[in-house]
Amino acid sequence: MLKINAMRWRHFYLDRLVQVFVYLAVLTICAVFLWILIDLLRGGFAHLSWNFLIESPRDAGRAGGIGSILVSTILILLVALGAALPLAWTTAALLAEYVSTTSKFGIVVRYSLQVLAGVPSIVFGLFGNAFFSIYLGLGFSILSGGLTLACMVLPILVSTAEAGLRAVPDSYRLSAAALGMTRAATLIHLLLPIAAPTLAAGLLLGIGRAVAETAALLFTSGYVDRMPGSLLDSGRALALHIFDLSMNVPGGDAPAYASALVLVAMLLCINIFAMKLVQNWQRRRTILE
Amino acid sequence: MIWSKRYILFPLKLTDSLLQGILRVGAVISALAMLLISLFLIVESWPILGQISPVRFFTDASWHPLEGAYHLMPMLAGTLYASAGALLLAIPLGIASALFIVYYASPRLAKWYKRLVELLAGIPSVVFGFWGLTTLVPLINQLHPPGASLLAAILILTLMILPTITLTAYSALMAVPVEFLLNATALGLSRWGMIHGVAFPAARTGIIAGIILAMARAIGETMAVLMVAGNVVQYPDGLFDPIRTLASNIVLEMGYAMGDHRAMLFVSGLLLMLMLMMLSGMAGWLGRNRCA
């Protein structure tokens, strides 16, 4: 009896100990997250202004703003999405609707995308430098940076879109078939519109990943901080600007803080928006079922 | 409302097969991207791989690529130390956060905390690196100069891989059938008893797969580590020694590397990719065999 009691007490204390550890861990993580955000706000908020957002950087970024850098970032993003989206969504539609999960073709495509998702960003940078910049002769340009990023975001876009299409209830497909709709019509008029919010959420995640990228762009889109004249010009992305200011420019801390703040704010908005989209979609889907 | 459009049914058989053809082409191109990347890495690193034996990467005296000395080990060691340290910190913290979301917090608090972790996952590596450089490195410097060190790299990497571990452990724990937990409670198990005895064994493969993914992320991370680790090619003697990782070495030297040196950087890229491919293959295999 005494032994059982002792055991019960030990379990009780162990239970409490674990609970304390869990709460401590959570508090630490929250505190660090707030610490980072407050640090960024304190360091960057004073430097932030409308002019900072639209002016071009001067004196290696110590003065001026990030206008041309934002333009380059957006151009790189557009190139990346323009190349990756059609490929990703056709691949996802094929994988989700046309080939069975056990077919050879499906397995090969899925496996290669899975491997692609595991490739580190610096390796994408090496590949982009060797293939787009040198082999295809695009040089250090927005085009080669964007295409490198396209390879990088492809797996995310495919997997989110595939998951979205698969989440559409089978009753839709059956109803469409019963109405005599062809598979193409079912896909275009029924499944894609229903899955649109998840496609959009995946798109936002891809954008987030592309905007945050630095290593893959270092040796593909280059360092030049002038306003890009065409897609073949070199353009510096925002994340790269932060890296350059903090590592290579003495006295560049204030604009680096402000740029980091802009980047983080952008990404937080994108991520929150994506979460909301998925949440609403799930709610609507449960009503529809 | 869809009936208002004409030709909704695409009556031609042709459109159907045409669309399928287009989709197939897209999928083939997507699949080829991986092949192209591997091909170019191998082609670019061939000048070195075809010339000297890979054993020299481990037996050469030092890393002086301009003089033909290609000793990769210190950087490999740096990468492994930093990732192992980060995993050591991030695994308990990450799993504790997942437990908090699933078993400890009220639904409302759990939702908010999960969102916070997801947002943490969305912070770009360069911002982590910048924060580490301006906040963490000076703090460590006060403790023990020079500040830019293995410790700083470990702490920053911990922050970066923590969301991966938390979110994968969360979905693994959520997938544990609720009857298991009900039975455990009915048997009078304490909360920790239930977690330790029932939830962990049931969710083990999922949690391990997440840890492997996090490890892959830590090994492949470049910019954040580059900014805080000090980048001296050496075996670190302690937590406060600067290190250089394989990935940041590529960034540091790619700008001026020519000929064999450049090929050598591609070799280290290839090495990184092989390591990560193995890890993500392992994670994928675990994920597929979860039900077994």
Q: What is the pLDDT of residues B150-199, one digit of tens each?
A: 999 999 999 999 999 999 999 999 999 999 989 998 988 888 889 988 99
Distance between CA atoms of A29 and B162, rounded to whole angstroms? Answer: 9
Q: What is the pLDDT of residues A25-82, one digit of tens each?
A: 999 999 999 999 999 999 888 888 888 888 888 887 788 888 899 999 999 999 999 9
Confidence band, pLDDT 50/70/90 cuts, at residue B5: very low
Q: Of B133, B90, B71, whose CA–CA distance to A39 is shortest? A: B133
- What chain A residue is nearest to B271 in terms of C-alpha separation? A123
Q: Is B45 on the interface with A (CB under 8 A)?
A: no
Distance between CA atoms of A39 and A257, rounded to whole angstroms? Answer: 9
CATH code of B224's domain: 1.10.3720.10
Distance between CA atoms of A246 and A253, rounded to whole angstroms? Answer: 6
Query: Pick from B5, B19, B273: which is nearest to A184 by CB?
Result: B19
Whether B129 has a pLDDT exceeding 60, the answer reads yes
Q: What is the pLDDT of residues B53-76, one digit of tens each?
A: 777 787 777 888 877 788 888 899
Sequence spans of domains, chain A: 2-44, 51-288
Write the DSSP string, B33-72.
HHHHHHHHHHHHHHHHHTTS-TTHHHHSSSEEGGGTEE--
The number of distinct structural domains making up chain B is 1
Whether B122 has a pLDDT exceeding 90, the answer reads no
First CA to last CA across chain B, in angstroms? 46
Write the DSSP string, B250-292.
HHHHHTT--HHHHHHHHHHHHHHHHHHHHHHHHHHHHHHTS--
Tell me what the mean pLDDT of segment A207-211 comes to. 90
Q: Of B173, B212, B205, B201, whose CA–CA distance to B87 is shortest? A: B212
Q: Is B42 on the interface with A (CB under 8 A)?
A: no
Q: Of A261, A194, A34, whose CA–CA distance to B124 is shortest? A: A261
Distance between CA atoms of A236 and A238, rounded to whole angstroms? Answer: 7
Whether A289 has a pLDDT exceeding 70, the answer reads no
Distance between CA atoms of A15 and A168, rounded to whole angstroms? Answer: 42
What is the percentage of chain A residues whose pLDDT exceeds 90?
36
| Contact across the interface for A215 and B41, Cβ inside 8 Å | no
Q: Is B92 on the interface with A (CB under 8 A)?
A: yes
Distance between CA atoms of A174 and A179, rounded to whole angstroms? Answer: 9
| Contact across the interface for B251 and A215, Cβ inside 8 Å | yes
| Contact across the interface for A30 and B220, Cβ inside 8 Å | no
> Within 13 A of B186's CA, how many CA atoms are on the CB side?
6
Q: Which chain B positions have a beta carbon within 8 Å of A118's beta carbon?
A: 216, 276-277, 279-280
Q: Which phi and psi angles does A64 have, rounded to 5°?
A: 75, -160
Q: Where are the beta strands (DSSP E) in B53-198?
A: 63-64, 69-70
Q: Is B187 on the interface with A (CB under 8 A)?
A: no
For B110, residues 6+ apart whose C-beta sits below 8 A from its C-beta are: B100, B101, B102
Interface predicted TM-score (ipTM): 0.88
| Contact across the interface for B34 and A113, Cβ inside 8 Å | yes
For B102, residues 6+ apart whose C-beta sits below 8 A from its C-beta are: B110, B170, B173, B174, B199
Q: What is the DSSP letter of B4?
A: G
Q: Distance (Å) from the C-alpha of residue B142 to the closest C-alpha of chain A?
A: 19
Print the domain residue range for B230. Answer: 63-288
Whether A169 has a pLDDT exceeding 50, the answer reads yes
Distance between CA atoms of B121 and B124, rounded to whole angstroms? Answer: 8
Residue pair B114/B170 in contact by the 8 Å Cβ criterion: yes
The bridge status of strand B63-64 relative to strand B69-70 is: antiparallel
- The domain defined by A51-288 carries CATH number 3.40.50.300: no
Q: Which chain B positions have a beta carbon within 8 Å of A121's beta carbon?
A: 220, 222
Full 3-state SS string of A36-73: HHHHHHHHHCCCCCHHHHHCCEEHHHCEECCHHHHHHH
